[in-house]
Amino acid sequence: MRDGGADSVTELVAPRLVDSEASRVHELERFSHYVARQIGFDDVKECPHLCTLAYDYLREEQGVLTVEGAPKRKLKNMVLEATRAFWSGAAANSVVVEADAFKETDVIYRAISSRGHHNDMLRTAELVHQSSMDAASSLLVTALNEGRDVIMDGTLSWEPFVQQTIDMARAVHQQRYRMGRGYKVTDDGTITEEYWEPVEGANIEEEDETKLRKPYRIELVGVVCDPYLAVVRGIRRAVITGRAVRVKSQLQSHKRFATAFNSYCLVDNARLYSTNTMGAAKLIGWKDGESSLLVDPEEIGCLERVRSLNEEANCVHDLYDDEQPASGSSSMWQDLVMSPSRASVQRELKAAIQNNEARFRQA
């Protein structure tokens, strides 16, 4: 059983599915209507100008979350800031490896996305997923073979791939590599994973070059947040950019990253940030050199909790057995959605909007 308060909050914050009169198709309510309902308007006819502003916001914000959009730049800047001492002399020669960047520039992806069919967002992204991953892997191994400094941007959710990539980066100064066969399942059900393989028979010049190279130093900067926030941000990205990821895939990625993070800390330096709050990302875990991973005891619970999330969750209250979606000492869920002042703030905002709407009608 779930308490009535939890049900009412879920009904309030979740977008509604609207039944089409002409067919059995369910359509998600318009963003402008959702905004109006969040503020407290039962009928969007009461606030036409608010709906127009909401629509204009979407139109003006198109592209904000693309590869070079502001939030993406903010995340990259955070990564560079966290490793400033190391990257200060390497930034000019660095190669950024990001599968999403290849996806955004894929001819097939761009052609299908330009049609504007929102029902195709998931299938379109999945269509070019493997090709974009292969392109990113090819760029990564090429850059490492050439001794370039590399910034690899990814979910790091698949532990075998990450572990093999770390091992390859540790040895690439002595041995050139190429892409392996990847994830394969034989007829008898045997699974083999070989993401990188040594290049045998390198020429003399290449051998001499590797002998002079120094081993790579590997820095890891991870970002974790409560899963409900990740899903909300993913939906917002889909609305703005047209690039979507299935909710189950997002939950699986977060759970796998959280489960494997401690093993990833075999790198030289590691930083883990939490983005659960409205302010700047908070450092909750760090490791320098040979030291053990140090954590913020009050906030690391977010990472530990994600390890037990329900990948099959259909709503925010199904994420965990205790039906509490948030973790840590502070969260957007507690600060905004469940805040005792939420109702009074909404009433004040609604009253102000009603006054402005009345002025428009009089004009």
Q: Which of 10-14, 130-134, 250-254 has the lowest mean pLDDT?
A: 10-14
Flag whether the pTM goes above 0.75.
no
Q: Please indicate, yes or no, if residue 7 is contained in any of the structural domains.
A: no
Quote the pLDDT of residue 167.
94
Q: Please indicate, yes or no, if residue 30 is contained in any of the structural domains.
A: no
Terminus-to-terminus CA distance in the chain, angstroms? 52
Contact 244, 234 (CB under 8 A): yes
Q: Please indicate, yes or no, if residue 202 is contained in any of the structural domains.
A: yes
Contact 228, 324 (CB under 8 A): no
Q: Please indicate, yes or no, if residue 211 is contained in any of the structural domains.
A: yes
Q: Please indicate, yes or no, if residue 48 is contained in any of the structural domains.
A: no
The 10 Å Cβ neighbour count of residue 355 is 9
Of the chain, the percentage scoring pLDDT greater than 70 comes to 68
CA 64/CA 83 separation, integer angstroms: 25
Q: Using one digit for the tens of pLDDT, what is the confidence trace for 320-354?
A: 887 676 665 555 666 666 677 777 888 898 999 99
Q: Using one digit for the tens of pLDDT, what is the confidence trace for 104-132?
A: 777 666 666 666 555 566 676 767 778 88
Quote the pLDDT of residue 88.
59
Residue among 107, 110, 105, 103 nearest 128 (CA):
103
**DSSP-derived secondary structure for 146-214:** TT-EEEEES----HHHHHHHHHHHHHTTTS-EEEEEEEEE-TTS-EEEEEEEE-SS--HHHHHHHHHPP
Q: Please indicate, yes or no, if residue 133 is contained in any of the structural domains.
A: yes
Burial 5-20 (b: 16+ CB within 10 A, else e): ebeebbeebeeeeeee
Label the pairing between strands 26-28 and 17-19. antiparallel
Q: Please indicate, yes or no, if residue 86 is contained in any of the structural domains.
A: yes
Residue range 275-303: mean pLDDT, rounded: 83
For residues 363 and 140, which has the higher predicted lDDT (pLDDT)?
140
Q: Which residues pair with 294 in a beta bridge?
A: 286
Domain span at 215 = 62-330
Q: Confidence band (pLDDT; 50, 70, 90) for 254?
A: very high
Quote the pLDDT of residue 21.
60
Query: The tokens of 329 are what?
Result: 């000492």
| pLDDT at residue 102 is higher than 90 | no
User: How many domains does the chain contain in total?
Assistant: 1
- CATH code, 126: 3.40.50
Quote the pLDDT of residue 159.
94
Residue range 221-236: mean pLDDT, rounded: 85
Going by C-beta distance under 8 Å and a sequence separation of 6 or more, which residues neighbour residue 337? 9, 13
For residue 223, the SS3 value is strand
Residue among 342, 35, 55, 349 nearest 357 (CA):
349
Amino acid at position 247, single letter: V
Q: Please indicate, yes or no, if residue 57 is contained in any of the structural domains.
A: no
CA 275/CA 281 separation, integer angstroms: 5
Q: With left for phi above 0 and alpha for psi between -120 and 50, is residue 288 left, alpha or beta?
A: beta
